[in-house]
Structure 1
Amino acid sequence: MSLISPLVPIIVPVILCAAIGVFWVRFKQPFDHEFVRRIVLWISAPALIVGTLGKTVISAELLQHVLLASMCMLAFTAVFAAVACVLLRLSLRDFLIPLVFGNFGNMGLPLCLFAFGQEGLAIGLGVFLVTTISHFSFGVAVLSGKAMIRGVLSSPVIYAGVFACLLIFNHWHLPLALQNTLELLGGISIPLMLITLGVSLSSLRLQGVGKSLGLGCLRLLVGLGGGVATVYVLDLEGMVRNVVLLQSATPAAVFNYLLAMQYRREPDTVAGMVVSSTLISFISIPVLLYFLGVR
Protein backbone atom coordinates (compact mmCIF):
# COMPACT_ATOMS: atom_id res chain seq x y z
CA MET A 1 0.00 0.00 0.00
CA SER A 2 2.91 2.35 0.71
CA LEU A 3 4.01 1.98 -2.92
CA ILE A 4 0.59 2.96 -4.27
CA SER A 5 -0.55 5.72 -1.92
CA PRO A 6 1.85 8.44 -3.22
CA LEU A 7 0.48 7.89 -6.74
CA VAL A 8 -3.17 8.26 -5.71
CA PRO A 9 -3.18 12.12 -5.85
CA ILE A 10 -1.83 11.88 -9.42
CA ILE A 11 -3.99 9.16 -10.93
CA VAL A 12 -7.28 9.56 -9.07
CA PRO A 13 -8.01 13.15 -10.29
CA VAL A 14 -7.55 11.95 -13.88
CA ILE A 15 -9.88 8.98 -13.32
CA LEU A 16 -12.53 11.00 -11.47
CA CYS A 17 -12.65 13.81 -14.04
CA ALA A 18 -12.90 11.28 -16.89
CA ALA A 19 -15.59 9.45 -14.89
CA ILE A 20 -17.69 12.63 -14.90
CA GLY A 21 -17.80 12.36 -18.68
CA VAL A 22 -18.73 8.68 -18.51
CA PHE A 23 -21.59 9.29 -16.07
CA TRP A 24 -22.69 12.34 -18.07
CA VAL A 25 -23.34 10.06 -21.03
CA ARG A 26 -24.87 7.32 -18.88
CA PHE A 27 -27.45 9.80 -17.54
CA LYS A 28 -28.17 10.84 -21.13
CA GLN A 29 -27.18 14.46 -20.66
CA PRO A 30 -26.47 16.49 -23.83
CA PHE A 31 -22.83 17.07 -24.73
CA ASP A 32 -21.92 19.26 -27.67
CA HIS A 33 -18.63 17.76 -28.87
CA GLU A 34 -18.07 20.41 -31.52
CA PHE A 35 -18.65 23.31 -29.13
CA VAL A 36 -16.29 21.84 -26.50
CA ARG A 37 -13.67 21.02 -29.15
CA ARG A 38 -13.73 24.61 -30.40
CA ILE A 39 -13.59 26.06 -26.88
CA VAL A 40 -10.54 23.92 -26.07
CA LEU A 41 -8.66 24.31 -29.36
CA TRP A 42 -9.52 27.96 -30.00
CA ILE A 43 -9.56 29.48 -26.52
CA SER A 44 -8.54 27.45 -23.47
CA ALA A 45 -5.62 25.43 -24.90
CA PRO A 46 -3.96 28.50 -26.51
CA ALA A 47 -4.51 30.42 -23.25
CA LEU A 48 -2.99 27.53 -21.28
CA ILE A 49 0.08 27.44 -23.54
CA VAL A 50 0.77 31.18 -23.44
CA GLY A 51 -0.25 31.63 -19.80
CA THR A 52 1.81 28.70 -18.48
CA LEU A 53 4.91 29.13 -20.62
CA GLY A 54 4.75 32.90 -20.12
CA LYS A 55 4.95 32.70 -16.34
CA THR A 56 7.02 29.53 -15.82
CA VAL A 57 10.74 30.01 -15.40
CA ILE A 58 11.92 28.06 -18.44
CA SER A 59 14.96 29.12 -20.42
CA ALA A 60 15.08 29.40 -24.20
CA GLU A 61 17.75 26.68 -24.22
CA LEU A 62 15.52 24.32 -22.23
CA LEU A 63 12.54 25.01 -24.50
CA GLN A 64 14.64 24.23 -27.58
CA HIS A 65 15.76 21.01 -25.88
CA VAL A 66 12.14 20.05 -25.18
CA LEU A 67 11.02 20.74 -28.76
CA LEU A 68 13.94 18.68 -30.13
CA ALA A 69 13.20 15.83 -27.72
CA SER A 70 9.52 15.88 -28.77
CA MET A 71 10.41 15.59 -32.45
CA CYS A 72 12.84 12.77 -31.73
CA MET A 73 10.23 10.95 -29.66
CA LEU A 74 7.75 11.08 -32.53
CA ALA A 75 10.39 10.00 -35.05
CA PHE A 76 11.52 6.99 -33.02
CA THR A 77 7.92 6.01 -32.28
CA ALA A 78 7.08 6.23 -35.98
CA VAL A 79 10.00 3.96 -36.88
CA PHE A 80 9.06 1.39 -34.23
CA ALA A 81 5.40 1.53 -35.25
CA ALA A 82 6.24 1.13 -38.95
CA VAL A 83 8.45 -1.89 -38.24
CA ALA A 84 5.71 -3.42 -36.08
CA CYS A 85 3.13 -2.89 -38.84
CA VAL A 86 5.36 -4.56 -41.41
CA LEU A 87 6.16 -7.53 -39.16
CA LEU A 88 2.52 -8.00 -38.13
CA ARG A 89 1.24 -7.35 -41.66
CA LEU A 90 -0.87 -4.41 -40.61
CA SER A 91 -1.79 -1.60 -42.98
CA LEU A 92 0.62 1.30 -42.52
CA ARG A 93 -1.98 3.69 -43.90
CA ASP A 94 -4.57 2.57 -41.37
CA PHE A 95 -2.59 1.99 -38.17
CA LEU A 96 0.68 3.97 -38.29
CA ILE A 97 -0.86 7.21 -37.04
CA PRO A 98 -2.95 5.70 -34.19
CA LEU A 99 0.19 3.88 -33.03
CA VAL A 100 2.35 7.02 -33.12
CA PHE A 101 0.10 9.66 -31.58
CA GLY A 102 -0.76 9.20 -27.95
CA ASN A 103 -3.14 11.20 -25.81
CA PHE A 104 -0.57 13.93 -25.18
CA GLY A 105 -3.25 16.52 -24.41
CA ASN A 106 -6.32 15.08 -22.68
CA MET A 107 -4.34 12.67 -20.51
CA GLY A 108 -0.70 13.73 -20.84
CA LEU A 109 -1.06 17.32 -19.65
CA PRO A 110 -3.04 16.51 -16.48
CA LEU A 111 -0.55 13.77 -15.60
CA CYS A 112 2.39 16.14 -16.11
CA LEU A 113 0.70 18.72 -13.89
CA PHE A 114 -0.27 16.36 -11.07
CA ALA A 115 3.01 14.42 -11.14
CA PHE A 116 5.53 17.24 -11.66
CA GLY A 117 3.76 20.54 -10.98
CA GLN A 118 3.91 23.73 -13.06
CA GLU A 119 7.39 23.00 -14.41
CA GLY A 120 6.26 19.58 -15.59
CA LEU A 121 3.17 21.12 -17.18
CA ALA A 122 5.29 23.70 -19.03
CA ILE A 123 7.54 20.97 -20.47
CA GLY A 124 4.49 18.84 -21.24
CA LEU A 125 3.00 21.76 -23.17
CA GLY A 126 6.15 21.86 -25.30
CA VAL A 127 5.61 18.20 -26.16
CA PHE A 128 1.91 18.86 -26.77
CA LEU A 129 2.72 21.72 -29.15
CA VAL A 130 5.05 19.62 -31.34
CA THR A 131 2.78 16.58 -31.37
CA THR A 132 -0.31 18.66 -32.19
CA ILE A 133 1.40 20.28 -35.18
CA SER A 134 2.61 16.88 -36.36
CA HIS A 135 -0.80 15.24 -35.90
CA PHE A 136 -2.60 17.95 -37.86
CA SER A 137 -0.02 17.87 -40.68
CA PHE A 138 1.88 14.58 -41.04
CA GLY A 139 -0.85 12.50 -39.41
CA VAL A 140 -3.69 13.83 -41.53
CA ALA A 141 -1.53 13.66 -44.68
CA VAL A 142 -0.87 9.93 -44.15
CA LEU A 143 -4.54 9.16 -43.55
CA SER A 144 -5.92 11.35 -46.33
CA GLY A 145 -3.15 11.03 -48.88
CA LYS A 146 -2.68 14.78 -49.23
CA ALA A 147 -0.90 17.56 -47.38
CA MET A 148 -2.90 19.59 -44.85
CA ILE A 149 -0.86 22.79 -44.57
CA ARG A 150 -3.99 24.95 -44.48
CA GLY A 151 -5.36 22.96 -41.53
CA VAL A 152 -2.14 23.48 -39.57
CA LEU A 153 -1.97 27.20 -40.29
CA SER A 154 -5.58 27.67 -39.20
CA SER A 155 -5.03 26.22 -35.72
CA PRO A 156 -4.81 28.82 -32.90
CA VAL A 157 -2.70 26.36 -30.89
CA ILE A 158 0.13 26.85 -33.39
CA TYR A 159 0.10 30.63 -33.08
CA ALA A 160 -0.14 30.41 -29.30
CA GLY A 161 2.96 28.22 -29.31
CA VAL A 162 4.85 30.65 -31.54
CA PHE A 163 3.86 33.59 -29.32
CA ALA A 164 4.88 31.70 -26.17
CA CYS A 165 8.27 30.94 -27.74
CA LEU A 166 8.72 34.63 -28.56
CA LEU A 167 7.99 35.50 -24.92
CA ILE A 168 10.63 33.07 -23.70
CA PHE A 169 13.32 33.80 -26.29
CA ASN A 170 12.98 37.58 -25.83
CA HIS A 171 12.48 37.52 -22.03
CA TRP A 172 9.18 39.35 -22.39
CA HIS A 173 6.56 39.43 -19.63
CA LEU A 174 2.83 39.85 -20.05
CA PRO A 175 0.89 42.54 -18.16
CA LEU A 176 -0.52 41.10 -14.94
CA ALA A 177 -4.13 41.65 -16.04
CA LEU A 178 -3.55 39.71 -19.28
CA GLN A 179 -1.60 36.98 -17.44
CA ASN A 180 -4.47 36.53 -14.97
CA THR A 181 -6.99 36.39 -17.82
CA LEU A 182 -4.98 33.69 -19.61
CA GLU A 183 -4.68 31.68 -16.40
CA LEU A 184 -8.44 31.90 -15.89
CA LEU A 185 -9.20 30.77 -19.45
CA GLY A 186 -6.45 28.15 -19.50
CA GLY A 187 -7.70 26.72 -16.21
CA ILE A 188 -10.78 25.25 -17.90
CA SER A 189 -8.71 23.38 -20.48
CA ILE A 190 -7.53 20.38 -18.45
CA PRO A 191 -10.90 19.60 -16.78
CA LEU A 192 -12.66 19.91 -20.15
CA MET A 193 -10.09 17.64 -21.80
CA LEU A 194 -10.58 14.95 -19.17
CA ILE A 195 -14.39 15.16 -19.18
CA THR A 196 -14.35 14.99 -22.98
CA LEU A 197 -12.08 11.95 -22.76
CA GLY A 198 -14.65 10.22 -20.54
CA VAL A 199 -17.54 11.17 -22.83
CA SER A 200 -15.64 9.93 -25.88
CA LEU A 201 -14.58 6.64 -24.29
CA SER A 202 -18.12 5.87 -23.16
CA SER A 203 -19.31 6.42 -26.74
CA LEU A 204 -16.76 4.03 -28.27
CA ARG A 205 -17.21 0.28 -28.45
CA LEU A 206 -14.65 -2.51 -28.58
CA GLN A 207 -14.76 -4.26 -31.96
CA GLY A 208 -12.69 -7.40 -32.48
CA VAL A 209 -11.55 -7.52 -28.86
CA GLY A 210 -8.41 -9.57 -29.53
CA LYS A 211 -7.07 -7.30 -32.28
CA SER A 212 -8.06 -4.12 -30.44
CA LEU A 213 -6.37 -5.30 -27.25
CA GLY A 214 -3.22 -6.25 -29.14
CA LEU A 215 -3.07 -2.88 -30.90
CA GLY A 216 -3.71 -1.08 -27.60
CA CYS A 217 -0.75 -2.87 -26.01
CA LEU A 218 1.33 -2.18 -29.12
CA ARG A 219 0.60 1.57 -28.90
CA LEU A 220 1.84 1.68 -25.31
CA LEU A 221 4.95 -0.36 -26.16
CA VAL A 222 6.05 1.58 -29.25
CA GLY A 223 5.25 4.88 -27.55
CA LEU A 224 7.33 4.12 -24.49
CA GLY A 225 10.01 2.63 -26.74
CA GLY A 226 10.19 5.94 -28.60
CA GLY A 227 10.50 7.78 -25.30
CA VAL A 228 13.26 5.49 -24.01
CA ALA A 229 15.20 5.78 -27.30
CA THR A 230 14.92 9.58 -27.13
CA VAL A 231 16.17 9.67 -23.54
CA TYR A 232 19.11 7.44 -24.47
CA VAL A 233 20.13 9.22 -27.70
CA LEU A 234 19.76 12.77 -26.32
CA ASP A 235 21.02 11.79 -22.86
CA LEU A 236 18.05 13.48 -21.21
CA GLU A 237 18.00 13.97 -17.47
CA GLY A 238 15.78 15.37 -14.74
CA MET A 239 12.38 16.83 -15.45
CA VAL A 240 12.68 16.71 -19.25
CA ARG A 241 13.49 13.00 -19.09
CA ASN A 242 10.52 12.28 -16.83
CA VAL A 243 8.03 14.29 -18.87
CA VAL A 244 9.16 12.80 -22.20
CA LEU A 245 8.84 9.27 -20.82
CA LEU A 246 5.44 10.00 -19.26
CA GLN A 247 4.05 11.63 -22.40
CA SER A 248 5.43 8.83 -24.59
CA ALA A 249 3.56 6.23 -22.53
CA THR A 250 0.09 7.76 -22.97
CA PRO A 251 -2.61 5.69 -24.71
CA ALA A 252 -3.87 6.27 -28.24
CA ALA A 253 -5.56 9.64 -28.65
CA VAL A 254 -9.33 9.80 -29.14
CA PHE A 255 -8.65 12.13 -32.07
CA ASN A 256 -7.21 9.10 -33.91
CA TYR A 257 -10.68 7.57 -33.96
CA LEU A 258 -12.24 10.77 -35.33
CA LEU A 259 -9.68 10.86 -38.14
CA ALA A 260 -10.08 7.14 -38.85
CA MET A 261 -13.83 7.64 -39.13
CA GLN A 262 -13.44 10.71 -41.34
CA TYR A 263 -11.06 8.99 -43.77
CA ARG A 264 -12.53 5.47 -43.39
CA ARG A 265 -9.38 3.91 -41.96
CA GLU A 266 -10.64 0.97 -39.87
CA PRO A 267 -12.56 3.22 -37.43
CA ASP A 268 -14.06 0.35 -35.40
CA THR A 269 -10.66 -1.23 -34.79
CA VAL A 270 -9.10 2.13 -33.95
CA ALA A 271 -11.96 2.81 -31.50
CA GLY A 272 -11.22 -0.47 -29.75
CA MET A 273 -7.53 0.42 -29.72
CA VAL A 274 -8.25 3.76 -28.02
CA VAL A 275 -10.47 2.16 -25.37
CA SER A 276 -8.16 -0.78 -24.62
CA SER A 277 -4.96 1.30 -24.47
CA THR A 278 -6.65 3.82 -22.17
CA LEU A 279 -7.87 1.12 -19.79
CA ILE A 280 -4.45 -0.55 -19.73
CA SER A 281 -2.75 2.80 -19.12
CA PHE A 282 -4.51 3.16 -15.77
CA ILE A 283 -2.24 0.30 -14.69
CA SER A 284 0.87 0.92 -16.80
CA ILE A 285 1.22 4.65 -16.08
CA PRO A 286 1.23 4.27 -12.26
CA VAL A 287 3.93 1.62 -12.69
CA LEU A 288 5.94 4.00 -14.87
CA LEU A 289 5.49 6.85 -12.37
CA TYR A 290 6.80 4.61 -9.61
CA PHE A 291 9.93 3.79 -11.63
CA LEU A 292 10.37 7.50 -12.40
CA GLY A 293 10.68 8.06 -8.68
CA VAL A 294 7.33 9.75 -8.09
CA ARG A 295 6.73 8.90 -4.44
Structure 2
Amino acid sequence: MFITILYSVVLPIIVLIVVGSVLQRIFQLDLYTLSKINFYCITPATVFMSLYHSNMNPELLGSVILFYALYVLILYLLGSLTSKIMGYKSGKKAAFNNSIMLDNSGNYGLPVNQLVFSGEPLAASMQALIMSLQSLLTFTYGVISIQGSRLQGNYRSVIIGFLKMPVPYALALGLIMHALAIPLPTVLAQPLTYAQQSMVAIALITLGAQIVKYPLRLYRSDIYISMVLRLFGGPLIGLMLILLLDMHGIPAQALLIASAMPTGVNTSILAEEYRNEPDFAAQTVLISTIVNVFTITAVIALSGHLQ
Protein backbone atom coordinates (compact mmCIF):
# COMPACT_ATOMS: atom_id res chain seq x y z
CA MET A 1 0.00 0.00 0.00
CA PHE A 2 2.84 2.40 0.87
CA ILE A 3 4.49 1.88 -2.53
CA THR A 4 1.16 2.25 -4.35
CA ILE A 5 0.40 5.56 -2.66
CA LEU A 6 3.93 6.80 -3.24
CA TYR A 7 3.82 5.93 -6.96
CA SER A 8 0.30 7.04 -7.82
CA VAL A 9 -0.13 10.09 -5.59
CA VAL A 10 3.18 11.68 -4.60
CA LEU A 11 5.64 11.06 -7.43
CA PRO A 12 3.53 12.72 -10.19
CA ILE A 13 3.75 15.96 -8.22
CA ILE A 14 7.50 15.60 -7.68
CA VAL A 15 7.95 15.36 -11.46
CA LEU A 16 6.77 18.98 -11.94
CA ILE A 17 9.03 20.20 -9.15
CA VAL A 18 11.99 18.54 -10.87
CA VAL A 19 10.97 20.14 -14.19
CA GLY A 20 11.07 23.57 -12.53
CA SER A 21 14.49 22.86 -11.05
CA VAL A 22 15.87 21.77 -14.43
CA LEU A 23 14.40 24.81 -16.21
CA GLN A 24 15.98 27.10 -13.61
CA ARG A 25 19.37 25.46 -14.06
CA ILE A 26 19.21 25.82 -17.84
CA PHE A 27 17.47 29.18 -18.36
CA GLN A 28 17.84 31.10 -15.05
CA LEU A 29 14.13 31.94 -14.83
CA ASP A 30 12.94 35.31 -13.55
CA LEU A 31 11.63 34.19 -10.14
CA TYR A 32 10.39 37.66 -9.23
CA THR A 33 8.08 37.68 -12.24
CA LEU A 34 6.91 34.14 -11.55
CA SER A 35 6.14 35.17 -7.98
CA LYS A 36 4.10 38.13 -9.22
CA ILE A 37 2.06 35.87 -11.53
CA ASN A 38 1.29 33.50 -8.65
CA PHE A 39 0.75 36.32 -6.18
CA TYR A 40 -1.58 38.58 -8.15
CA CYS A 41 -3.24 36.36 -10.75
CA ILE A 42 -3.34 32.60 -10.36
CA THR A 43 -3.94 32.30 -6.61
CA PRO A 44 -6.80 34.84 -6.48
CA ALA A 45 -8.49 33.17 -9.46
CA THR A 46 -8.18 29.73 -7.85
CA VAL A 47 -9.51 30.94 -4.50
CA PHE A 48 -12.49 32.65 -6.13
CA MET A 49 -13.45 29.68 -8.32
CA SER A 50 -13.04 27.16 -5.48
CA LEU A 51 -15.38 29.08 -3.19
CA TYR A 52 -17.80 29.93 -5.97
CA HIS A 53 -18.26 26.24 -6.85
CA SER A 54 -18.15 24.88 -3.28
CA ASN A 55 -20.83 22.25 -2.43
CA MET A 56 -20.41 21.89 1.35
CA ASN A 57 -23.39 22.33 3.67
CA PRO A 58 -23.26 25.12 6.30
CA GLU A 59 -22.70 22.72 9.22
CA LEU A 60 -19.66 21.08 7.64
CA LEU A 61 -18.42 24.48 6.50
CA GLY A 62 -18.50 25.69 10.09
CA SER A 63 -16.73 22.56 11.36
CA VAL A 64 -13.91 22.94 8.83
CA ILE A 65 -13.45 26.62 9.65
CA LEU A 66 -13.37 25.82 13.40
CA PHE A 67 -10.86 23.02 12.79
CA TYR A 68 -8.63 25.29 10.75
CA ALA A 69 -8.81 28.19 13.20
CA LEU A 70 -7.74 25.96 16.10
CA TYR A 71 -5.12 24.26 13.95
CA VAL A 72 -3.30 27.45 12.92
CA LEU A 73 -3.64 28.94 16.41
CA ILE A 74 -1.83 25.95 17.94
CA LEU A 75 0.86 26.11 15.25
CA TYR A 76 1.29 29.84 15.87
CA LEU A 77 1.73 29.28 19.60
CA LEU A 78 4.24 26.49 18.98
CA GLY A 79 6.14 28.64 16.50
CA SER A 80 6.21 31.68 18.77
CA LEU A 81 7.39 29.60 21.73
CA THR A 82 10.11 27.98 19.63
CA SER A 83 11.23 31.38 18.28
CA LYS A 84 11.48 32.75 21.81
CA ILE A 85 13.50 29.76 23.00
CA MET A 86 15.83 30.00 19.98
CA GLY A 87 16.19 33.78 20.31
CA TYR A 88 14.97 34.63 16.79
CA LYS A 89 14.57 38.32 15.96
CA SER A 90 11.31 39.70 14.55
CA GLY A 91 12.13 39.07 10.88
CA LYS A 92 13.31 35.52 11.52
CA LYS A 93 10.32 34.84 13.80
CA ALA A 94 7.94 35.93 11.02
CA ALA A 95 9.71 33.69 8.50
CA PHE A 96 9.80 30.76 10.95
CA ASN A 97 6.10 31.00 11.80
CA ASN A 98 5.26 31.25 8.12
CA SER A 99 7.27 28.09 7.45
CA ILE A 100 5.12 26.02 9.82
CA MET A 101 1.75 27.76 9.39
CA LEU A 102 1.69 28.23 5.62
CA ASP A 103 1.59 24.85 3.89
CA ASN A 104 1.13 23.62 0.35
CA SER A 105 -2.62 23.05 0.62
CA GLY A 106 -3.14 24.35 -2.90
CA ASN A 107 -0.42 23.50 -5.35
CA TYR A 108 0.45 20.30 -3.48
CA GLY A 109 -2.70 19.52 -1.48
CA LEU A 110 -5.19 19.80 -4.33
CA PRO A 111 -3.49 17.22 -6.56
CA VAL A 112 -2.92 14.88 -3.59
CA ASN A 113 -6.60 15.19 -2.63
CA GLN A 114 -7.71 14.53 -6.19
CA LEU A 115 -5.53 11.46 -6.52
CA VAL A 116 -6.40 10.04 -3.07
CA PHE A 117 -10.16 10.55 -3.34
CA SER A 118 -10.46 10.12 -7.12
CA GLY A 119 -12.10 13.52 -7.49
CA GLU A 120 -14.85 12.83 -4.90
CA PRO A 121 -16.80 16.16 -4.77
CA LEU A 122 -17.04 16.45 -0.97
CA ALA A 123 -13.32 15.84 -0.44
CA ALA A 124 -12.45 18.23 -3.28
CA SER A 125 -14.64 20.98 -1.83
CA MET A 126 -13.08 20.56 1.61
CA GLN A 127 -9.58 20.83 0.21
CA ALA A 128 -10.61 23.88 -1.80
CA LEU A 129 -11.92 25.52 1.37
CA ILE A 130 -8.73 24.67 3.28
CA MET A 131 -6.72 26.10 0.40
CA SER A 132 -8.85 29.25 0.46
CA LEU A 133 -8.45 29.65 4.23
CA GLN A 134 -4.74 29.02 3.82
CA SER A 135 -4.58 31.69 1.12
CA LEU A 136 -6.44 34.11 3.36
CA LEU A 137 -3.98 33.36 6.17
CA THR A 138 -1.04 33.76 3.78
CA PHE A 139 -2.10 37.14 2.50
CA THR A 140 -3.21 38.47 5.88
CA TYR A 141 -1.04 37.14 8.71
CA GLY A 142 1.77 35.99 6.39
CA VAL A 143 2.10 39.36 4.67
CA ILE A 144 1.42 41.51 7.74
CA SER A 145 3.94 39.65 9.91
CA ILE A 146 6.71 40.06 7.35
CA GLN A 147 5.87 43.67 6.53
CA GLY A 148 5.54 44.50 10.23
CA SER A 149 8.99 43.10 10.99
CA ARG A 150 10.54 45.05 8.13
CA LEU A 151 8.70 48.31 8.74
CA GLN A 152 9.47 48.31 12.48
CA GLY A 153 5.92 48.85 13.68
CA ASN A 154 4.76 51.22 10.91
CA TYR A 155 1.41 49.43 10.75
CA ARG A 156 -0.23 52.12 8.65
CA SER A 157 2.02 51.00 5.79
CA VAL A 158 1.32 47.38 6.73
CA ILE A 159 -2.44 47.90 6.45
CA ILE A 160 -2.07 49.74 3.16
CA GLY A 161 0.06 46.89 1.87
CA PHE A 162 -2.56 44.35 2.96
CA LEU A 163 -5.37 46.27 1.25
CA LYS A 164 -3.45 45.94 -2.02
CA MET A 165 -3.55 42.13 -1.80
CA PRO A 166 -6.14 40.55 -4.17
CA VAL A 167 -6.76 37.23 -2.38
CA PRO A 168 -8.98 38.49 0.48
CA TYR A 169 -11.21 40.23 -2.06
CA ALA A 170 -11.35 37.09 -4.20
CA LEU A 171 -12.30 35.00 -1.15
CA ALA A 172 -15.07 37.36 -0.05
CA LEU A 173 -16.43 37.75 -3.58
CA GLY A 174 -16.45 34.00 -4.17
CA LEU A 175 -18.38 33.34 -0.94
CA ILE A 176 -20.92 36.12 -1.65
CA MET A 177 -21.58 35.07 -5.24
CA HIS A 178 -21.91 31.42 -4.16
CA ALA A 179 -24.32 32.26 -1.33
CA LEU A 180 -26.47 34.48 -3.56
CA ALA A 181 -26.25 32.08 -6.56
CA ILE A 182 -25.11 34.91 -8.81
CA PRO A 183 -24.35 33.54 -12.29
CA LEU A 184 -20.83 34.03 -13.58
CA PRO A 185 -20.71 35.21 -17.22
CA THR A 186 -18.78 32.98 -19.59
CA VAL A 187 -16.53 35.88 -20.56
CA LEU A 188 -15.28 35.84 -16.94
CA ALA A 189 -15.75 32.19 -16.03
CA GLN A 190 -13.58 30.88 -18.86
CA PRO A 191 -10.41 32.91 -18.17
CA LEU A 192 -10.80 32.31 -14.42
CA THR A 193 -11.05 28.58 -15.13
CA TYR A 194 -7.94 28.72 -17.30
CA ALA A 195 -6.04 30.45 -14.49
CA GLN A 196 -7.31 27.95 -11.92
CA GLN A 197 -6.30 24.98 -14.06
CA SER A 198 -2.80 26.39 -14.51
CA MET A 199 -2.17 26.76 -10.79
CA VAL A 200 -0.75 23.31 -10.04
CA ALA A 201 1.73 23.27 -12.91
CA ILE A 202 2.93 26.88 -12.58
CA ALA A 203 3.16 26.82 -8.79
CA LEU A 204 5.08 23.53 -8.69
CA ILE A 205 7.41 24.61 -11.49
CA THR A 206 7.98 27.87 -9.61
CA LEU A 207 8.71 25.89 -6.46
CA GLY A 208 11.21 23.74 -8.33
CA ALA A 209 12.91 26.85 -9.69
CA GLN A 210 13.03 28.51 -6.28
CA ILE A 211 14.51 25.63 -4.35
CA VAL A 212 17.59 25.39 -6.57
CA LYS A 213 18.32 29.12 -6.36
CA TYR A 214 19.93 28.65 -2.95
CA PRO A 215 22.53 26.03 -2.01
CA LEU A 216 21.29 23.16 0.16
CA ARG A 217 22.31 23.84 3.77
CA LEU A 218 21.92 20.58 5.64
CA TYR A 219 23.72 21.92 8.70
CA ARG A 220 21.08 24.53 9.66
CA SER A 221 19.17 23.46 12.76
CA ASP A 222 16.40 26.03 12.23
CA ILE A 223 15.37 24.28 9.02
CA TYR A 224 15.04 20.91 10.76
CA ILE A 225 13.09 22.41 13.65
CA SER A 226 10.67 23.92 11.14
CA MET A 227 10.41 20.61 9.28
CA VAL A 228 9.61 18.62 12.43
CA LEU A 229 6.88 21.04 13.50
CA ARG A 230 5.43 21.16 9.99
CA LEU A 231 5.54 17.48 8.97
CA PHE A 232 5.10 15.74 12.32
CA GLY A 233 3.49 18.36 14.54
CA GLY A 234 0.95 19.34 11.87
CA PRO A 235 -0.63 15.88 11.39
CA LEU A 236 -0.54 15.20 15.14
CA ILE A 237 -2.42 18.42 15.86
CA GLY A 238 -4.82 17.62 13.02
CA LEU A 239 -5.55 14.15 14.39
CA MET A 240 -6.16 15.50 17.90
CA LEU A 241 -8.60 18.11 16.60
CA ILE A 242 -10.42 15.55 14.43
CA LEU A 243 -10.96 13.36 17.50
CA LEU A 244 -11.92 16.37 19.63
CA LEU A 245 -14.49 17.57 17.08
CA ASP A 246 -15.76 13.99 16.59
CA MET A 247 -15.34 13.99 12.82
CA HIS A 248 -15.53 10.81 10.75
CA GLY A 249 -15.36 9.45 7.22
CA ILE A 250 -14.27 11.54 4.25
CA PRO A 251 -14.23 14.86 6.19
CA ALA A 252 -11.89 13.39 8.81
CA GLN A 253 -9.67 11.75 6.18
CA ALA A 254 -9.47 14.89 4.05
CA LEU A 255 -8.59 17.11 7.02
CA LEU A 256 -5.91 14.75 8.30
CA ILE A 257 -4.26 14.62 4.89
CA ALA A 258 -4.58 18.40 4.54
CA SER A 259 -2.75 18.85 7.86
CA ALA A 260 0.25 16.87 6.58
CA MET A 261 1.32 19.08 3.68
CA PRO A 262 4.91 20.36 3.45
CA THR A 263 5.89 24.00 3.86
CA GLY A 264 4.05 25.99 1.21
CA VAL A 265 5.55 27.55 -1.86
CA ASN A 266 3.88 30.79 -0.76
CA THR A 267 6.33 30.90 2.15
CA SER A 268 9.13 31.24 -0.35
CA ILE A 269 7.10 33.52 -2.63
CA LEU A 270 6.45 35.93 0.26
CA ALA A 271 10.08 35.79 1.32
CA GLU A 272 11.14 36.55 -2.25
CA GLU A 273 8.51 39.27 -2.61
CA TYR A 274 9.45 41.10 0.59
CA ARG A 275 13.14 40.14 0.78
CA ASN A 276 12.76 38.57 4.24
CA GLU A 277 14.90 35.47 4.92
CA PRO A 278 14.48 34.09 1.36
CA ASP A 279 17.27 31.56 1.87
CA PHE A 280 15.68 30.10 5.02
CA ALA A 281 12.24 30.02 3.36
CA ALA A 282 13.51 28.25 0.25
CA GLN A 283 15.40 25.69 2.36
CA THR A 284 12.33 24.86 4.48
CA VAL A 285 10.27 24.37 1.35
CA LEU A 286 12.96 22.17 -0.20
CA ILE A 287 13.69 19.98 2.84
CA SER A 288 10.07 19.58 3.92
CA THR A 289 8.98 18.73 0.37
CA ILE A 290 11.65 16.03 0.04
CA VAL A 291 10.86 14.45 3.42
CA ASN A 292 7.12 14.80 2.79
CA VAL A 293 7.40 12.19 0.04
CA PHE A 294 7.50 9.66 2.86
CA THR A 295 5.47 11.35 5.59
CA ILE A 296 2.45 12.14 3.39
CA THR A 297 2.43 8.55 2.18
CA ALA A 298 2.25 7.34 5.79
CA VAL A 299 -0.49 9.84 6.67
CA ILE A 300 -2.59 8.82 3.65
CA ALA A 301 -2.33 5.20 4.80
CA LEU A 302 -3.31 6.22 8.35
CA SER A 303 -6.29 8.25 7.14
CA GLY A 304 -7.89 5.08 5.79
CA HIS A 305 -8.57 4.04 9.38
CA LEU A 306 -10.67 7.14 10.14
CA GLN A 307 -14.22 5.90 9.52
Query: TM-score, structure 2 length as denominator?
Result: 0.81
Moved more, 94-103 or 182-191: 94-103
Match status 1:37 vs 2:35: yes
CA-CA distance at 1:126 after TM superposition: 1.7
Matches within 5 A, 1:1-20: 2-20=1-19
Partner of residue 111, structure 2: 110
CA-CA distance at 1:149 after TM superposition: 2.7
Partner of residue 164, structure 2: 154
Cα separation, 2, equivalents of 1:247 and 1:276: 18
CA-CA distance at 1:21 after TM superposition: 0.3
Matches within 5 A, 1:210-289: 210-211=220-221, 212-257=223-268, 259=270, 267-289=278-300
Aligned length: 291
Cα separation, 2, equivalents of 1:62 and 1:42: 30
Cα separation, 2, equivalents of 1:157 and 1:139: 12
Asked if the contact 1:46–1:157 (Cα under 8 Å) also holds between the matched residues in 2, the reply is: yes
What is the letter of the counterpart of residue 109 of structure 1?
L
Partner of residue 101, structure 1: 102
Partner of residue 60, structure 2: 62
Query: TM-score, structure 1 length as denominator?
Result: 0.84
Matches within 5 A, 1:83-232: 83-86=81-84, 88-91=85-88, 93=90, 94=92, 95-116=96-117, 117=119, 118-143=121-146, 144-145=148-149, 146=153, 147=155, 148-175=158-185, 178-207=188-217, 209-211=219-221, 212-232=223-243
Identity across the alignment (%): 24
What is the letter of the counterpart of residue 70 of structure 1?
Y
Change (3 A) 1:71 1:30: same
Cα separation, 2, equivalents of 1:55 and 1:265: 35
Change (3 A) 1:179 1:38: same
Q: Deviation string for 1:183-231 (max 9, x for gaps)?
A: 2231111111111111111223233525133432233223223322332
Asked if the contact 2:21–2:211 (Cα under 8 Å) also holds between the matched residues in 1, the reply is: yes
CA-CA distance at 1:267 after TM superposition: 4.7
Moved more, 178-187 or 263-272: 263-272
Asked if the contact 1:102–1:223 (Cα under 8 Å) also holds between the matched residues in 2, the reply is: no
Asked if the contact 2:235–2:256 (Cα under 8 Å) also holds between the matched residues in 1, the reply is: yes
For the aligned residue pairs, the C-alpha RMSD in angstroms reads 2.9
